Amino acid sequence: MKQSSYWLVLLPLAPGAHGLPGWPMGGTIVAGNAVQFDRGSWEANLAHPNATGNNSITGFDVSTPWPSTQIDGWHLVVNVTGDIPDSEAMNPSNATGKTFTGTSIFLQAPENLRTTFSYENAIDETTWKICVVVIPNAPQENATAAENGTCSIMSSQCVTDLQQAYADKFARNQDCYGTPPSTPSSCGNAINTGNFNVQQLPLDSISGKEVFVTASEPHSPSDGKALDDATAKVWPVLTIWGWNGRANVSDAPSPTVQLSCISAREVEPGSGTPDSAGSRYCGSAVAALVVACVVTYALV
């Protein structure tokens, strides 16, 4: 049985976005003004981000069949670029010299696993199912709260219940399509799963291809507010590691689900650091961030 329908994407944030002109192969949830761009020009801009965030997450050795073993080296990463010219949009005739601030979120496998699924056969034969759920509508939070990947925006009970709800919903060989499970009551109004959907990851995306992209409203190139907003934003992301029908196990444990919060709080050298971002940053108690902060100020 061929199960490479992993390309199927549900795009609640961009209705009717199946086969988006700029993103014809799917595999990426395209939100906001990112629909104005095609994948090529988007990636060229996001390859040189103004700010990034990079969280280590729990992952597995997917080069051997499920259940395999947990390994280090998996990362959830967010790239933010503050000045994507509107002349690089798909309809450049409308360009007025404004820019967009773009955000890409992706899962990156440990280096030795990045090419695991670069062959169609490997995708057709794997017993793994990997899903990545980006929660786009969590309330804005003090970005220092995301500094070690914990989601302090949510109570620990909410995190536990949310992970359990996803493990139950996508248990066994259940593909990760469709509507997410309803929000656990312990989460109060910290998140609302009503207006997002679940992405089953095209397995060849583990090398670091975008899972989720979004862009701001157009703004003047000198206006740093959109970049401030994008770097202040905290993205709760669920990763789900389970098995598919080829695993041929009928009563196996639930998938492993982890909630991690990522934020593009590391400003890249060469980027003008907006003051507000600088102070947010320097307020951090994490040594690595303090170092980054010093570097940033040295460059300013």
Ligand X SMILES: *[C@@H]1O[C@H](CO)[C@@H](O)[C@H](O)[C@H]1NC(C)=O
Contact set with ligand X (CB under 6 A): 46-50, 52, 54, 75, 77, 79, 82-83, 91, 93-94, 104, 106, 108, 142, 144, 148, 150, 152, 208, 210, 224, 227, 248, 270-272, 283
How far apart, in Å, are the Cα atoms of 231 and each of 3, 52, 224? 37, 8, 11
| Closest CB to ligand X among residues 169, 219 | 219
Instruction: Classify the C-alpha dihedral 226-144-154-239 as positive or negative.
Output: positive
Beta bridge partners, 259, equal 238
Q: What minimum distance in Å lies between the beta carbon of 112 and ligand X?
A: 12
| Closest CB to ligand X among residues 58, 150 | 150
Judge whether 70 and 58 are in contact, CB under 8 Å. Answer: yes
| Closest CB to ligand X among residues 113, 169 | 113
Residue 129, classed as helix, strand or coil, is: strand
Q: What minimum distance in Å lies between the beta carbon of 181 and ligand X?
A: 25
| Closest CB to ligand X among residues 11, 105 | 105
Report the chain's C-alpha Rg in angstroms: 19
| Closest CB to ligand X among residues 158, 169 | 158
Q: What minimum distance in Å lies between the beta carbon of 225 and ligand X?
A: 10
Q: What minimum distance in Å lies between the beta carbon of 41 and ligand X?
A: 12
Q: What minimum distance in Å lies between the beta carbon of 29 and ligand X?
A: 13
Q: How many Å apart are CA 17 and CA 152, to the nearest integer?
A: 33
Nearest CA to 54 out of 171, 148, 129 is that of 148
Nearest CA to 149 out of 70, 265, 231 is that of 265
Q: What is the DSSP letter of 50?
A: S
